[in-house]
Amino acid sequence: MTHFSKDTECFFRSPVREIFKKVDLSSIYSFAGGYPSADTFPLEDIRSTMSKVIDKWGGVAFQYGATQGVTVLREAVAKRCGVPVERVQITSSSQQGIDVCTRVLVDPGDVVLTSNPSYLGALQSFCSYRADIRGVSHCSDIVRFEQDYVKTIEEALSEGKKIKFLYMIPDFQNPSGETLTLQERKMMVSLARKYDFLIVEDSPYRELRYEGDPVPTMYSLDPERVVHLGSFSKIFAPGFRLGWILANEDVLDKIYVCKQSLDLCPPVFDQYVAAEFLQSGLLDANLSKSIELYRHKRDVLLSLLEKYMPENVSWTHPEGGLFLFLTLPEDFDSVAFYDRALSAGVAYVAGSFFHTDGGGKNTMRLNFSFLDENRMEPGIKILSDLLR
Amino acid sequence: MTHFSKDTECFFRSPVREIFKKVDLSSIYSFAGGYPSADTFPLEDIRSTMSKVIDKWGGVAFQYGATQGVTVLREAVAKRCGVPVERVQITSSSQQGIDVCTRVLVDPGDVVLTSNPSYLGALQSFCSYRADIRGVSHCSDIVRFEQDYVKTIEEALSEGKKIKFLYMIPDFQNPSGETLTLQERKMMVSLARKYDFLIVEDSPYRELRYEGDPVPTMYSLDPERVVHLGSFSKIFAPGFRLGWILANEDVLDKIYVCKQSLDLCPPVFDQYVAAEFLQSGLLDANLSKSIELYRHKRDVLLSLLEKYMPENVSWTHPEGGLFLFLTLPEDFDSVAFYDRALSAGVAYVAGSFFHTDGGGKNTMRLNFSFLDENRMEPGIKILSDLLR
């Protein structure tokens, strides 16, 4: 009998990925997952860019690359983010960014603070290192919101715990779709300074803004204390598995050495393609089109919810990103309801999966990027009828 | 001040990757590294295959993929290896294969057995999880060789240690270039059964055989107890960062869940390209050419060593792979010598870096795949002159 490591006892499966193993996405109305629309992948531009990369770089594009990432991509990301290139580590997906930050910071039992609800893949990673996850629910009253954080922090410290970092998705959060105000971001940064922990700012959706003005990144508020995670998955295509980390040099150095033994370097050809796509302006041109498409799809979903949902259901109105979050009557159980919905041909993700405290049973996450526009109405109609 | 995890205290940098950060490879005679020759990358076939993948798969090739790997690639690997597809996990590099096996098996202090010397990237990974690494040197007398293993195992057990796995590169080992006989493989498998540990068989070079007959894989001797790691880096191109794991279903399931939080899935487009390259026969056609090229380069290097090296230097005669291993007089220190060699324009990797016990000071690893054939002679001449 194989004796697995203690970490494995805390592994848990992604319920989202398990859904996708069981059903053929194209056969149902899927509001589950966080897939971009395949319509946003500029196939012909990608084809010509790939050919250009082969012409320009030849064998270098298929050879081993530097652990930090290839120089042209690091430079392009540095320029886009307005940071020195020494601050940029390219990752093999932004999920790897979350994982490697946890790896270099967390010992079993250390506290990771996060919003409640939070991104499932991050919770999986924290759990897998046996972190002690403590979630704080959002509160629109900033004074009470800060008090809730302080209470959680003080409680952990009084138990003799070390708080390693606060994990946040400040823009168009997954799953809630909510965005932190500047005041809220400043409050968190000042708590991080006061109690001496880092902030990991996960920012895959930031550039998908459909209305309103951008709020400064947490990284910009304190580049020494905030580790920023970026992703090409939503602004280019997830199939390349590329992201980046911005961090202070101490943290980045640990991540760099860790990455040597994790996978040596990010996918090399893919990095040259991403760099070329950025530099040529094709990425930004395509991103503008994606924003148009997603804004429209969000609006369609919002109006369908308005039209079909029962009175006792409410939802968030995200200014960007890929998700909105439904709240149903208190006695509703979205996990128990899921099999009925799937049998009727509709998929969503139950909100409790994102919660750090077993709460959120009466919530569900709906994605509006993946499903074709003309399939949204029948899907929401089925879901609404079932809910009635 | 940031408090890093305890694991980070055991991280160490790859001396090989540090060399590459400091010097421009094209400006020196480099026998360091384990890079394939860029001449083996079939650029035009890759270009047309990429185009074919875009036509055939469209957006699917750029979307998120299954954590286990895309089905067509898993099927192609399963067919090539003669195993059921359920036994195949695609990895984002075979380095990730090593890392994830260690992650799911090893707690701090657990013993990992390995050959001495062994692959540096594996030692990095074992150390990073605070494994207790115990190396056994090769011995051509099988009875003594087995005794050496038994002694090491019994010693560890008498200290109350858990032995989690034996890590082996049975074909054309990195760094020694040596290949284990069938008898040696059987001995190791029977020890693994007797003492109830797994074997991780790292097999990136197996298909690069230039003479002699293939020896059965350790996996074929016991598919339940041996985890086999394969790689596309040496049979296709390392810039795609793709490998595979064959393992029993218990082990594979743990790896699968771990991989969800590590990076969700391997690079998707790259997987479709690799699958198409395999299925079309292009991979095997190109591999035949690579074998021709490397056999020739190995022979060139062997004859140059014969011609130029001082009498008191000996070396291995590998039947395949990318490396041979030099042994110098006992008082020689290849680490101290390295700066002189580099100043004179020649790079190698000091043998002690691969040793688990601080030994091997009088050894060095030479790679024969990367350097152009016509640059080998001046390089070996400089190195030989310096050694005199």
Contact of A22 with chain B, judged by CB distance below 8 Å, is answered with no
- Nearest neighbour of B264 by CB, restricted to A95, A164, A266: A95
Give ∠ CA B5-B6-B8 in degrees, rounded to 5: 75
Q: Is the ipTM of this complex over 0.95?
A: yes
pLDDT tens per residue, range A124-160 = 999 999 999 999 999 999 999 999 999 999 999 999 9
Note the pLDDT of residue A45.
Answer: 98
Contact state of A261 with B20 under an 8 Å Cβ cutoff? no
Across residues A169-192, what is the average pLDDT?
A: 98
Tally Cβ neighbours within 10 Å of residue A357.
Answer: 12
- Nearest neighbour of B267 by CB, restricted to A254, A264, A267: A267
Contact of B8 with chain A, judged by CB distance below 8 Å, is answered with yes
For the domain covering B62-281, report its CATH number: 3.40.640.10
Note the pLDDT of residue B16.
Answer: 76
Burial of B380 (0-12, 13-18, 19+ CB in 10 A): buried
Tally Cβ neighbours within 10 Å of residue B155.
Answer: 12
Q: Of B151, B148, B210, which Cα lies nearest the Cα of B179? A: B210
d(CA B294, CA B267): 28
Contact of A223 with chain B, judged by CB distance below 8 Å, is answered with no
Confidence of residue A16 (pLDDT cuts 50, 70, 90): confident
Least confident of A23-37, A73-87, A332-346: A23-37
Which residue's structure tokens are 């999920």? A95
d(CA A35, CA A38): 8
Q: From the candidates B3, B263, B370, which should be mutated to test the interface with A, based on the most A CB atoms within 10 A?
A: B263
- The residue extents of the domains of chain A are 6-42+284-387, 63-281
Strand, helix or coil at B42? Answer: coil
Contact state of A62 with B50 under an 8 Å Cβ cutoff? no
Kindly report the nearest CA distance between residue A168 and chain B, in angstroms: 17
Cβ-contact A113, A134 below 8 angstroms: yes
β-pair type (A88-91, A243-246): antiparallel
Closest residue in A to B109 (Cα–Cα) = A5
Chain B residues close to A200, C-beta within 8 Å: none
Note the pLDDT of residue A192.
Answer: 98
Q: Is pLDDT at A321 greater than 80 in this prediction? A: yes
Q: Where are the beta strands (DSSP E) in A117-266?
A: 132-137, 163-168, 198-202, 226-231, 243-246
β-pair type (B314-315, A349-350): unpaired
Kindly report the nearest CA distance between residue B80 and chain A, in angstroms: 23
Contact of B72 with chain A, judged by CB distance below 8 Å, is answered with no
DSSP of B73-116: HHHHHHHHHTS-GGGEEEESSHHHHHHHHHHHH--TT-EEEEEE
The per-residue b/e assignment along B268-286, b for 16 or more CB within 10 angstroms, e otherwise, is bbbbbbbbbbbeeebbeeb
pLDDT tens per residue, range B292-350 = 999 999 999 999 999 999 999 999 999 999 999 999 999 999 999 999 999 999 999 99
Chain A residues close to B371, C-beta within 8 Å: none
Contact state of B58 with A43 under an 8 Å Cβ cutoff? yes
Q: In the CATH scheme, what architecture does the domain A63-281 have?
A: 3-Layer(aba) Sandwich (3.40)
- Sequence-distant contacts of A152-160: CB under 8 A, at least 24 apart: A152/A113, A153/A113, A153/A191, A153/A195, A156/A111, A156/A132, A157/A195
Q: Of B16, B2, B11, which Cα lies nearest the Cα of B323? A: B16
For the domain covering B6-42+284-387, report its CATH number: 3.90.1150.10
Nearest-10 crossing angle of helices A182-195, A142-158:
20
Kindly report the nearest CA distance between residue B184 and chain A, in angstroms: 23
Q: Is pLDDT at A23 greater than 90 in this prediction? A: no
Contact state of B43 with A58 under an 8 Å Cβ cutoff? yes
- Alpha helices, DSSP H, located in B159-281: 182-195, 218-221, 249-263, 268-279
- Nearest neighbour of B38 by CB, restricted to A59, A65, A196: A59
Q: Indicate the length of chain B as a whole number.
A: 388
Cβ-contact B327, B107 below 8 angstroms: no
Chain A residues close to B270, C-beta within 8 Å: 267, 269-270
Burial of A288 (0-12, 13-18, 19+ CB in 10 A): exposed
- Nearest neighbour of B264 by CB, restricted to A43, A50, A93: A93
Q: Where are the beta strands (DSSP E) in A93-225?
A: 111-116, 132-137, 163-168, 198-202
Chain B residues close to A202, C-beta within 8 Å: none
Note the pLDDT of residue B24.
Answer: 75
β-pair type (A314-315, B111-116): unpaired
Contact state of A8 with B258 under an 8 Å Cβ cutoff? yes
Distance from chain centroid for Cα A355: 15
β-pair type (A198-202, A226-231): parallel
User: In this structure, what are the phi and psi dihedrals at residue B310, rounded to the nearest 5 degrees?
Assistant: -60, 160
Percent of chain A at pLDDT above 90? 94
Q: Which residues contact B310 (CB under 8 A, 6 or more apart)?
A: B384, B387, B388
d(CA B2, CA A362): 39
Confidence of residue A304 (pLDDT cuts 50, 70, 90): very high
Contact state of A63 with B36 under an 8 Å Cβ cutoff? yes
Give ∠ CA B220-B226-B231 in degrees, rounded to 5: 80
Give ∠ CA A302-A304-A309 in degrees, rounded to 5: 100
Tokens of A258: 């860790």
Contact state of A124 with B260 under an 8 Å Cβ cutoff? yes
Distance from chain centroid for Cα A121: 8
- Nearest neighbour of B5 by CB, restricted to A36, A46, A107: A107
Contact of B89 with chain A, judged by CB distance below 8 Å, is answered with no
Strand, helix or coil at B370? Answer: coil
Q: From the candidates B241, B254, B255, which should be mutated to test the interface with A, based on the most A CB atoms within 10 A?
A: B241
Confidence of residue A237 (pLDDT cuts 50, 70, 90): very high
For chain A, the average pLDDT equals 96
Contact of A316 with chain B, judged by CB distance below 8 Å, is answered with no
Q: Of B71, B106, B57, which Cα lies nearest the Cα of B265? A: B71
Q: Is pLDDT at A298 greater than 80 in this prediction? A: yes
CA-to-CA separations, A76 to A70, A84, B97, in angstroms, rounded: 10, 11, 30
Strand, helix or coil at A209? Answer: strand
For each of chain B's 388 residues, which pLDDT tens digit applies?
789 999 999 999 988 777 777 777 778 999 998 899 999 999 999 999 999 999 999 999 999 999 999 999 999 999 999 999 999 999 999 999 999 999 999 999 999 999 999 999 999 999 999 999 999 999 999 999 999 999 999 999 999 999 999 999 999 999 999 999 999 999 999 999 999 999 999 999 999 999 999 999 999 999 999 999 999 999 999 999 999 999 999 999 999 999 999 999 999 999 999 999 999 999 999 999 999 999 999 999 999 999 999 999 999 999 999 999 999 999 999 999 999 999 999 999 999 999 999 899 999 999 999 999 999 999 999 999 999 9
pLDDT tens per residue, range A109-122 = 999 999 999 999 99
Note the pLDDT of residue A362.
Answer: 97
pLDDT tens per residue, range A257-293 = 999 999 999 999 999 999 999 999 999 999 999 999 9
Task: Identify the DSSP state of B209.
Answer: B
Q: Which residues pair with A244 in a beta bridge?
A: A90, A230
Q: Which residues pair with A350 in a beta bridge?
A: A364
Task: Identify the DSSP state of B267.
Answer: -
Note the pLDDT of residue B370.
Answer: 94
Q: Of B290, B288, B318, which Cα lies nearest the Cα of B302? A: B318
Tally Cβ neighbours within 10 Å of residue B9.
Answer: 10
Q: Is pLDDT at A25 greater than 80 in this prediction? A: no
CA-to-CA separations, A371 to A38, A84, A283, A365, in angstroms, rounded: 10, 39, 23, 14
DSSP of A345-377: TEE-EEGGGG-SSS--TTEEEEE-SSS-HHHHH
- Nearest neighbour of A41 by CB, restricted to B38, B62, B107: B62
Kindly report the nearest CA distance between residue B215 and chain A, in angstroms: 27
Note the pLDDT of residue B151.
Answer: 98
Contact of B199 with chain A, judged by CB distance below 8 Å, is answered with no
- Alpha helices, DSSP H, located in chain B: 15-22, 43-57, 71-81, 94-105, 120-128, 142-158, 182-195, 218-221, 249-263, 268-279, 282-308, 334-343, 373-387
Cβ-contact B212, B188 below 8 angstroms: no
Contact state of B7 with A36 under an 8 Å Cβ cutoff? no
Cβ-contact A369, A294 below 8 angstroms: yes
Which of 31-60 (A) contact B at CB < 8 A? 33, 35-36, 38-39, 41, 43, 46-47, 50-51, 54, 58-60
Confidence of residue A24 (pLDDT cuts 50, 70, 90): confident
Give ∠ CA B136-B138-B143 in degrees, rounded to 5: 95
Q: Which residues pair with B327 in a beta bridge?
A: B314, B363
